[in-house]
Amino acid sequence: MPGRTTPGGPEPAGEDPGLAAPFRPRLARRVTLAVGAVFLTLTVVLVLVMPGLGPGDVVGFLLFGLLVAWFCWRQASVRAVPDADGLLVRNLIFTRRVTWAEIVSVRFGQGRAWVQLDLADGDTLAVMGVQRADGAFAEQEARRMATLVARRSRTARDD
């Protein structure tokens, strides 16, 4: 009996829909969106009130402001989106998709800024969607991710 349909396919039957919600940081998201907006606004104000700027200077300032705003937006958009087949991890620079079978374990020990996945090929994958700066919420999200991995990576042999 199939469960509810999600973007990656049917959700396993009997599973709590909240368990499969996307993982997103809270604090970093708010801070970087605010910083990006303030920086872009101040850049425009600076260009408008600073005397003696040539066209090249104005373009340079605006391009730099847009670059900083893009970086802040990218930081605010990090996430991990689970579905029936695996996990889509969008970090600051790279986006990677891993299947549930590829994930061996979830680590979020002291001193780690974000969750790390140990993969079957011996590699590790940082998941910036769960960040230590979120405190107890991050701990809860790391447990939720570990639960998803445990439930969805089982095989018939469960090796």
Q: What is the pLDDT of residue 110?
A: 82
Q: What band does 155 get if pLDDT is binned at 50, 70 and 90?
A: low
Indicate the pairing of strand 9-10 with strand 5-6: antiparallel
Is pTM, for the whole model, over 0.85? no
Model pLDDT for residues 56-93, shown as the tens digit of each residue: 999 999 999 999 999 999 999 999 999 999 999 999 99
- Distance of alpha carbon 54 from its chain centroid, rounded? 40
CB atoms within 10 A of CB 134: 19
Could you tell me which of 149, 29, 5, 143 has the C-alpha nearest to residue 87? 149
CA distance 1 to 28: 40
Mention every residue, 6+ apart, whose C-beta is less than 8 A from residue 140: none
Model pLDDT for residues 95-141, shown as the tens digit of each residue: 999 999 999 999 998 888 999 999 999 999 999 999 999 999 999 99
CA distance 135 to 138: 5
